[in-house]
Chains A and B, each alone.
Chain A
């Protein structure tokens, strides 16, 4: 308790501010205190200014002092000034009190027990002992307290050994402290916040006056504003314009067709229009039956119909179509992802595609029916050949026989039994020399058919070879004995011994020369023989590829050699290549030359037949694809514009080759026979003889045409 404020100090402020400090322990005016008590109790504990104010008033009224001025001032100034004043007062007070009322005792902070038994309690500032006061006994104290109502104010200060009276304000202060509040009543715990760090006009640190620029508008800002103003005035800046809807106007008002950029626009094809089956109530026949629906389930998903018709009995029962969005989407995809191209819509009658063929009737005569069968062979017939007079045919079969038949009657005239299967027979084209060339294994036989009776001896002479003499020098002189001529006594003919298997024999038109092919003999595959001189010579040309067949030109000395891919045409006199025919085929099997010599047909194992016109080009004039299987042989008719092909599929076609192109198909009778050869025959009766395995039939037509099927006898 360092502050010892008396009643006085608050009262006489102006008159004698120092006096009350001199006697701090003065107590008076009991009634006032009591009054205070009451007022204090009645007033709120908040220690608000209001309560102070009332107190002060009471003070005024009671004491009649000159405090009134001060108090009035307080009222006028308001709370803040008052508090300020108070604090000011307080400060002054405390200062003075500290100066004046230094503790009398100077012992410091030591336990007082040490002085318990001493007479003094300590020392004052000058060093004199401070005597202990006389102690009042308890009873006296009690009585005193009973008498004096203000006794409770007195507090004994042990340290200084004196009694201190607590003033009214101090009491209040204590009470506030006990309540846990701020000791001063005028302290406002919820005062407005004062932002000490903000300053107006004056910086708290720098005291410099506001610069001028703060009061002048910025030049650049001014310029910007001017710009904005101008923009607004000119309508460059607009404010809060409502969003305008895209305007619709007459886009095609002038209707002048603008030239569109880019490529020509191809409109997308329109979606297909719906048919009856898409109706919500289609006719009953459009709805698939249960079996058909089940059959759909067995199909692959992509093969199933996209739309299955369904029938609803009333419009109200039709549901929403579940694929509506999907189908529209697919259409969208088609529109922007599908390549588009203008395509000529072919809406033509398929009949108009067919070439205009003349009616068959106009193309007569041609063979149309099987007329006769020549039966007798026991194995497949490999080759046939007709006699130049057209009266006889010779056939060679794999049952090792060669037979001669009379065409008109089907009578078998002669049979030669040979050692091996017959590959080929060819009749000498000269009518005076009824000689047959037969290719059997590695031999070629020249046989006397024995038909022309008056020239018999001449033929026998021709077919006579001096066996031992002739071949030997031949061999030695040539150095390469490919062929050996010898007399065959058994068959009364000549036997030409070859080194390899002979596949075919072809006669020259005059019947003196003939050629033979040994496909496996490589460079010496083709040899040409002269019957009159009994001489064999190799062809003077280089072979390109494997020879397949050969042919002599029917009127000039021109020789055709066909290899697997091409046909080469040689001049025999000049020993040079005339032409190379590009067939475009891969596996040529046979070749035939028209009697006039300007047309060539080539058949191949791919089932294709090429027709060359020798005057035009080395490319085929026409390629016919009629047989599904290998063509084995092709042939020209000797007088009519007909040609024929036969194939392993058991059919033979006869074509008309004059103005148009017409074919007559001769279906072989029973199943799987193989046509092996066709042969054009001259003149009056059979047109073509087509030879099959081991059956031979010929039938004659009313028109005199004939088609022959080789067959069994």
Chain B
């Protein structure tokens, strides 16, 4: 009898009924494999692991309900229609009926994905939760070259660029950006929108490598969904700040590839307009009705409006800030947003042409700074006296203005992650900047903390006018005589006194702790000795130590033998993981030690 024998007339049960393999699913849905893939991607259907793999281990299993879900999808029928339509066109072409072919091609059936998006993300928050991959992908494609061979069309690349800029403009405008990190892979950004942390990666703005061993068809299907999703998300978030969605940009700035600046201007213009319009709501509504009637006129007038944005007060430097101040009074933002908004307050940045402009144009306004760049369409020129920081990334800077600091781009990113204005000495032109640390790392109890992280922590504390126990020699010295700190002007007198008190307390606590430790050690020994024997102290202590060791071993073995098999496996797995982690940190620490030694010996 076969293993999974089912008598005739008896229904399938259990895993055999609940799950089906991919080829079964394809047969059931009567679609091709490529179409099945596409459907799975668009519908977000993924394989599942049945407890018992009835057809064998080498199959992919889908849940029956998922497949039924696909089966009822109207898109399947739509795809079928499209296929027959394609056949019609093909036939016309084959019969050299060019007219018919052209006519058919003009009215090809299309499909929309908005319903699917609503279905997959019933709430806006759900969409935000799943936005990471979407943003990374759209940003990647915005940086890719259009390739005919792989069917990456220019239109799509442009659309990706537009969508990514719109998203960035919103994040920048609303100061939602939290963390940035320049990695080898690109620049990571983390924003917090509606309480959801959204992290995405943008590649460095360079020619991207397009490998051959990639199925672009799959990627483009994903992109199709992601483009639609991001468009709807953008609409929603623009709507939430009362800005009309498909933004109309100044074509001049667009041509100069300053989309972000154009967008920010659009925002300013729009917010002004919205303030104005709020006073005359009724009028505007009637106007809108009229507007709808003459759509063509509207478009033209809108374009004119976009061009006129140039003449708006936002053109002046600092106008943006003023606007924001106005807005700040109204909004009730959380603490963090406020902190982010005011980080680069009253600072003017100027970007040299060699720095990654798009990234900095996004990041600096997000933290309240005003920024300009070298090139046409810039809000202000390099010679502007109000510029406080010029961001350069070149070995030497020829002409220098004394009124401003010349820093490397990493300074901006480090400042953002630390949420304080860091001293610029180490980021000067031509220097090797201090290590750029990831803001995403959470340090465990005995993990390696890089030196620069400690330095930043101290600086943060200083900025908050708190004193932390400082590691290393310098720290100890500083703590020991707060007068030093006083001289340096980091703290004022009353605080110096406080510090002194705290130091005393700390030392007392330390002593107590040490005493306790000592006692504990002694006590253990004592109790142990009493256990063993009082008479022979010298020999017994030796024995006791051995026994102590053995006891530990015994304990371990006994614990293991008394645990259930499941628990033991888990325990061992955890142990292995911890060992690995430990090995990693110890390796890093060892490297650090060697580097330090080498430094010492060289000095």
Known interface pairs A315-B410, A322-B209. Does A248 touch B140 (Cβ–Cβ under 8 Å)?
no
Interface residue B496 (Cβ < 8 Å from any Cβ of A) = no
How far is A653 from B49 in the complex, measured between Cα atoms in Å?
A: 43
Contact B440 A273 (CB under 8 A): yes
User: Which chain B positions have C-beta within 8 A of A258?
Assistant: 118-119, 122
For the residues of A in contact with B, the DSSP-based class is loop
User: Which chain A positions have C-beta within 8 A of B563?
Assistant: 353-355
Contact B136 A661 (CB under 8 A): no
Contact A338 B65 (CB under 8 A): no
How far is A340 from B40 in the complex, measured between Cα atoms in Å?
A: 14
Interface residue A684 (Cβ < 8 Å from any Cβ of B) = no
Contact A276 B438 (CB under 8 A): yes
How far is A410 from B42 in the complex, measured between Cα atoms in Å?
A: 85
Interface residue A1 (Cβ < 8 Å from any Cβ of B) = no
User: Which chain B positions have C-beta within 8 A of A346?
Assistant: 570, 574
What 4 pairs between A and B have smallest CB-CB spacing?
A: A262-B69, A273-B440, A283-B435, A320-B206
Q: Please, could you name 20 A-B residue pairs with CB atoms under 8 Å apart, sorted by A?
A: A251-B114, A251-B232, A251-B236, A263-B63, A271-B136, A275-B438, A276-B441, A280-B184, A282-B436, A315-B356, A316-B355, A325-B209, A328-B136, A337-B60, A338-B46, A346-B574, A354-B559, A357-B558, A361-B531, A369-B547
How far is A483 from B570 in the complex, measured between Cα atoms in Å?
A: 55
Interface residue B493 (Cβ < 8 Å from any Cβ of A) = no
Contact B408 A314 (CB under 8 A): yes
Partner of A329, one of B60, B215, B450, B451: B215
Report A660-676 CB contacts with B as 1/0, cut-off 8 Å. Answer: 01111101000000000
Instruction: Tell which of B281-289, B497-505, B549-557 binds the partner.
Output: B549-557
Contact A336 B204 (CB under 8 A): no
How far is A285 from B587 in the complex, measured between Cα atoms in Å?
A: 9
Contact A275 B441 (CB under 8 A): yes
How far is A309 from B448 in the complex, measured between Cα atoms in Å?
A: 16
Partner of A316, one of B393, B435, B559: B393
Contact B117 A251 (CB under 8 A): yes
User: Which chain B positions have C-beta within 8 A of A340?
Assistant: 46-48
Partner of B129, one of A266, A267, A275, A350: A267
Starting from the known contacts A265-B44, A278-B438, A310-B184, 19 additional A-B residue pairs (CB-CB under 8 Å) come to A251-B118, A258-B118, A260-B120, A267-B129, A271-B133, A273-B188, A274-B438, A279-B184, A285-B591, A288-B591, A316-B394, A321-B203, A325-B219, A335-B133, A336-B45, A336-B46, A339-B49, A663-B557, A664-B558
Interface residue A249 (Cβ < 8 Å from any Cβ of B) = yes
User: Across the two chains, which residue of chain B brings its CB closest to A273?
Assistant: B440
Contact A702 B532 (CB under 8 A): yes
Contact A663 B65 (CB under 8 A): no
CB distance from A351 to the nearest CB of B (A): 9
Interface residue B222 (Cβ < 8 Å from any Cβ of A) = yes
Known interface pairs A250-B235, A276-B437, A283-B437. Does A318 touch B122 (Cβ–Cβ under 8 Å)?
no
Interface residue B66 (Cβ < 8 Å from any Cβ of A) = yes
User: Which chain B positions have C-beta within 8 A of A625?
Assistant: 561
How far is A316 from B541 in the complex, measured between Cα atoms in Å?
A: 65
Contact A328 B219 (CB under 8 A): yes
Contact A315 B124 (CB under 8 A): no
How far is A125 from B133 in the complex, measured between Cα atoms in Å?
A: 118
User: Which chain B positions have C-beta within 8 A of A189?
Assistant: none
How far is A263 from B136 in the complex, measured between Cα atoms in Å?
A: 27
Partner of A332, one of B218, B562, B592: B218
User: Which chain A positions have C-beta within 8 A of B558?
Assistant: 357, 626, 653, 661-665
User: Across the two chains, which residue of chain B brings its CB closest to A249?
Assistant: B235
Contact B130 A329 (CB under 8 A): no
Report B341-378 CB contacts with A as 1/0, cut-off 8 Å. Answer: 00000000000001110000000000000000000000
How far is A136 from B312 in the complex, measured between Cα atoms in Å?
A: 121
Interface residue B210 (Cβ < 8 Å from any Cβ of A) = yes
Contact A325 B184 (CB under 8 A): no
Report B177-211 CB contacts with A as 1/0, cut-off 8 Å. Answer: 00001111110100000000001000110111111
How far is A281 from B532 in the complex, measured between Cα atoms in Å?
A: 58
How far is A360 from B547 in the complex, measured between Cα atoms in Å?
A: 13
Report B223-249 CB contacts with A as 1/0, cut-off 8 Å. Answer: 000001001101110010000011000
Known interface pairs A279-B183, A329-B219. Does A285 touch B211 (Cβ–Cβ under 8 Å)?
no
CB distance from A503 to the nearest CB of B (A): 28
CB distance from B253 to the nearest CB of A (A): 22
User: Which chain B positions have C-beta within 8 A of A278?
Assistant: 181, 183-185, 438
Contact A324 B209 (CB under 8 A): yes
Interface residue A540 (Cβ < 8 Å from any Cβ of B) = no
Contact B435 A355 (CB under 8 A): no
Known interface pairs A283-B452, A328-B136, A336-B40. Does A663 touch B561 (Cβ–Cβ under 8 Å)?
yes
Partner of A261, one of B119, B130, B437, B440: B119
Contact A667 B122 (CB under 8 A): no
Contact A280 B574 (CB under 8 A): no
Interface residue A289 (Cβ < 8 Å from any Cβ of B) = yes
Q: Which of B109-149 contact A (CB under 8 A)?
A: 112, 114, 117-124, 127, 129-130, 132-133, 136-137, 140, 144
How far is A263 from B408 in the complex, measured between Cα atoms in Å?
A: 51
CB distance from B473 to the nearest CB of A (A): 20
Contact B559 A665 (CB under 8 A): no
Interface residue A201 (Cβ < 8 Å from any Cβ of B) = no
Partner of A315, one of B72, B112, B188, B409: B409
Interface residue A368 (Cβ < 8 Å from any Cβ of B) = yes
CB distance from B44 to the nearest CB of A (A): 7
Contact B554 A664 (CB under 8 A): yes
User: Which chain B positions have C-beta within 8 A of A279?
Assistant: 181-184, 435-438
Interface residue A209 (Cβ < 8 Å from any Cβ of B) = no
User: Which chain B positions have C-beta within 8 A of A325?
Assistant: 140, 144, 208-211, 214, 219
CB distance from A241 to the nearest CB of B (A): 9
CB distance from A331 to the nearest CB of B (A): 6
Q: Which of A289-345 contact B (CB under 8 A)?
A: 289, 309-310, 312-316, 318-329, 331-333, 335-341
Interface residue A255 (Cβ < 8 Å from any Cβ of B) = yes
How far is A331 from B210 in the complex, measured between Cα atoms in Å?
A: 16
User: Across the two chains, which residue of chain B brings its CB closest to A622?
Assistant: B562
Contact A354 B393 (CB under 8 A): no
- Of B46, B199, B219, B234, the most chain A CB neighbours within 10 A belong to B46
User: Which chain B positions have C-beta within 8 A of A315?
Assistant: 182, 355-356, 393, 408-410
Interface residue B34 (Cβ < 8 Å from any Cβ of A) = no
How far is A304 from B222 in the complex, measured between Cα atoms in Å?
A: 30
Known interface pairs A283-B452, A315-B182, A329-B215. Does A273 touch B199 (Cβ–Cβ under 8 Å)?
yes
Contact A313 B432 (CB under 8 A): yes
Contact A248 B231 (CB under 8 A): yes
Contact B438 A326 (CB under 8 A): no
How far is A421 from B380 in the complex, measured between Cα atoms in Å?
A: 106
Contact A324 B185 (CB under 8 A): yes
User: Across the two chains, which residue of chain B brings its CB closest to A665?
Assistant: B554
Contact B232 A321 (CB under 8 A): no
Contact B571 A350 (CB under 8 A): yes
Contact A321 B438 (CB under 8 A): no
CB distance from A244 to the nearest CB of B (A): 10
How far is A273 from B222 in the complex, measured between Cα atoms in Å?
A: 22
Contact B203 A320 (CB under 8 A): yes
Contact B231 A331 (CB under 8 A): no
How far is A335 from B46 in the complex, measured between Cα atoms in Å?
A: 7
- Of B119, B437, B561, the most chain A CB neighbours within 10 A belong to B561
Interface residue A2 (Cβ < 8 Å from any Cβ of B) = no
- Of B129, B435, B547, the most chain A CB neighbours within 10 A belong to B435
How far is A282 from B450 in the complex, measured between Cα atoms in Å?
A: 10
CB distance from A292 to the nearest CB of B (A): 8
Report B430-470 CB contacts with A as 1/0, cut-off 8 Å. Answer: 00110111101100000010111000000000000000000
User: Across the two chains, which residue of chain A brings its CB closest to B43?
Assistant: A262
CB distance from B159 to the nearest CB of A (A): 10
Report A497-532 CB contacts with B as 1/0, cut-off 8 Å. Answer: 000000000000000000000000000000000000
User: Which chain A positions have C-beta within 8 A of B356?
Assistant: 315
User: Across the two chains, which residue of chain B brings its CB closest to A245?
Assistant: B246
Known interface pairs A281-B433, A315-B355, A329-B219. Does A702 touch B122 (Cβ–Cβ under 8 Å)?
no
